[in-house]
């Protein structure tokens, strides 16, 4: 199977400055290639493709040996492919009748990744294997950069990417032929109900706490954003204030990801079949503002609910759970969540009156009472097992 590993880089001050210049030169190349395509089509009706621009790279590098010429040719080709993919996605959306979203020029701070498509072509993972205590990655034009390797890298390194997040640098390794780390067989099955009060409630009655990392950092974020709003645009102080806001958001993201990994790992270790809701999170968190002609209702309440759902990180958790289940040899089943919170797990009666409060379920037909989320998780498990049995019979 294919896996990606994200590892922290420890560049020296000089290497960090060189990496920043590498990103800047690739951003300039991306914008120049975009302008080339726009101008050619607008003035001559000519469609410029990746092959045309890739063929011109050698002339660009020859004319600017101290700039574009010092970086890896293959990494620059990857940047041009990135633009080509953006145009392909644009035309696909036009054809499908969706909002097109024409490719945009990348401003400073909006181009933070450079990719090397092949290990050994302008880059080399573990470039100093003789070093007894440290791991290095070699990048053309930068040198040997130290890597904080907190976990072993398995499989064969396919591509190498460098990514900047605030003041931190990461190397992202995409590896092929990664062996599956199958866990011992577990016959237990479980249904999961996603929530805001608890991140996950299982059909066995267990509740995984929702840490609400964004809510915990709300005061510091508000102060940092207010300080940012007072700074003059384009000033050095504004850049520092923006970096502070970005660092706080990055910390929340890392905390949320760490919690998702721990919760998913505990479930994968204990259960062989895991059934969860097939949630459409983008639709669930859509704004309720509406339009001038048809304004929305309960906008403030819906905004607060959206913030709580996104703070819980349902999408992050389900993505991590899917990866861990695949690696461990567990079975993951997604079911339609419609009416699972209104249906009695004992008699099957479905009515909105059954949900007395957010946490209390009381069936109006048979009198069955339970925690509302546990009742929903049992219904989810039952639906998943029925779907699994039907798929096996087919």
DSSP codes, 299-312: HHHHHHHHHHHHHH
Whether residue 376 contacts residue 201, with contact meaning beta carbons closer than 8 Å, is answered with yes
Question: pLDDT by residue (tens digit) across 236-253?
Answer: 999 999 999 999 999 999
pLDDT at 88: 96
pLDDT for 387 beyond 90 = yes
pLDDT at 221: 96
Q: Mean per-residue pLDDT for 224-235? A: 96
Whether residue 276 contacts residue 192, with contact meaning beta carbons closer than 8 Å, is answered with yes
Q: Mean per-residue pLDDT for 20-25? A: 97
Q: Mean per-residue pLDDT for 6-23? A: 97
Q: How long, in residues, is the chain?
A: 394
Confidence of residue 261 (pLDDT cuts 50, 70, 90): very high
pLDDT for 293 beyond 80 = no
pLDDT for 392 beyond 80 = no
Burial of 388 (0-12, 13-18, 19+ CB in 10 A): middle
Quote the percentage of the chain above a pLDDT of 90: 86
**Burial call 4-17: b when 16+ CB within 10 Å, e when fewer:** ebebebebeeebbe
Confidence of residue 394 (pLDDT cuts 50, 70, 90): low
Quote the percentage of the chain above a pLDDT of 70: 100
Q: Mean per-residue pLDDT for 109-137? A: 94
pLDDT at 316: 96
Confidence of residue 74 (pLDDT cuts 50, 70, 90): very high
pLDDT at 157: 96
Q: How many helices (H) and strands (E) does the chain have?
A: 11, 14
Q: In the beta sheet, which residues pair with residue 163?
A: 113, 170
Report the alpha-carbon distance of residue 123 to residue 173 in Å, rounded. Answer: 12
Q: What is the DSSP string of 103-161?
A: -----TTS--EEEESSTTSSEEET--TT-SS-EEEEETTTEEEEEE--SPPPSEEEEEE
pLDDT at 347: 93
Question: pLDDT by residue (tens digit) across 334-386?
Answer: 999 999 999 999 999 999 999 989 899 999 999 999 999 999 999 999 999 99
Tell which wins on pLDDT, 180 or 8.
8
pLDDT at 193: 96
pLDDT at 286: 86
Report the alpha-carbon distance of residue 189 to residue 212 in Å, rounded. Answer: 28
Report residue 331: phi and psi, to 5°. Answer: -100, 130
Whether residue 298 contacts residue 288, with contact meaning beta carbons closer than 8 Å, is answered with yes
Spell out the residues 6+ positions from residue 53 whose beta carbon is closer than 8 angstroms to its own: 33, 36, 37, 80
């Amino acid at each position: 199977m294919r896996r990606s590993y994200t590892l922290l880089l420890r560049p020296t001050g000089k290497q960090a400055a060189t990496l920043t210049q590498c990103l800047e030169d690739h951003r300039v190349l991306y914008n120049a290639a975009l302008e080339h395509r726009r101008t050619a089509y607008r003035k001559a009706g000519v469609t410029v493709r990746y092959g045309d621009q890739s063929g011109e790279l050698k002339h660009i590098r020859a004319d600017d040996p101290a700039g574009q010429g010092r970086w890896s040719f293959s990494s620059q080709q990857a940047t041009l492919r990135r633009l080509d993919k953006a145009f392909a996605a644009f035309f696909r959306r036009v054809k499908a009748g969706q909002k097109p979203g024409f490719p945009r020029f990348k401003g400073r701070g909006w181009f933070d990744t450079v990719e090397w498509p092949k290990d050994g072509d302008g880059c080399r993972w573990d470039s100093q294997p003789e070093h007894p205590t440290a791991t290095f990655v070699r990048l053309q034009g930068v040198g040997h950069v130290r890597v904080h390797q907190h976990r072993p890298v398995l499989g064969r390194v396919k591509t190498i990417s460098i990514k900047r997040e605030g003041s931190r640098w990461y190397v992202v390794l995409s590896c092929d032929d990664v062996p599956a780390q199958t866990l011992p067989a577990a016959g237990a099955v479980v249904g999961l109900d996603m929530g805001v009060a608890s991140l996950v409630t299982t059909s066995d009655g267990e509740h995984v706490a929702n840490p609400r990392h964004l809510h915990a950092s709300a005061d510091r974020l508000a102060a940092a954003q207010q300080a940012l709003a007072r700074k003059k645009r384009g000033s050095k102080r504004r850049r520092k204030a923006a970096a502070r806001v970005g660092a706080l958001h990055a910390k929340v993201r890392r905390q949320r990801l760490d919690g998702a990994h721990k919760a998913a790992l505990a479930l994968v270790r204990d259960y062989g079949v895991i059934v969860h809701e097939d949630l459409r999170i983008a639709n669930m968190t859509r704004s309720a503002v509406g339009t001038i002609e048809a304004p929305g209702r309960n906008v403030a309440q819906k905004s607060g609910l959206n913030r709580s759902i996104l703070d819980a990180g349902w999408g992050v958790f389900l993505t991590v759970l899917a990866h861990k289940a695949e690696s461990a040899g567990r079975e993951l089943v997604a079911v339609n969540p419609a009416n699972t919170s209104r249906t009695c797990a004992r008699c099957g009666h479905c009515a909105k009156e059954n949900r007395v409060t957010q946490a209390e379920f009381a069936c109006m037909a048979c009198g069955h009472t339970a925690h509302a989320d546990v009742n929903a998780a049992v219904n989810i498990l039952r639906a998943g097992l029925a779907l699994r049995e039907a798929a096996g019979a087919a």
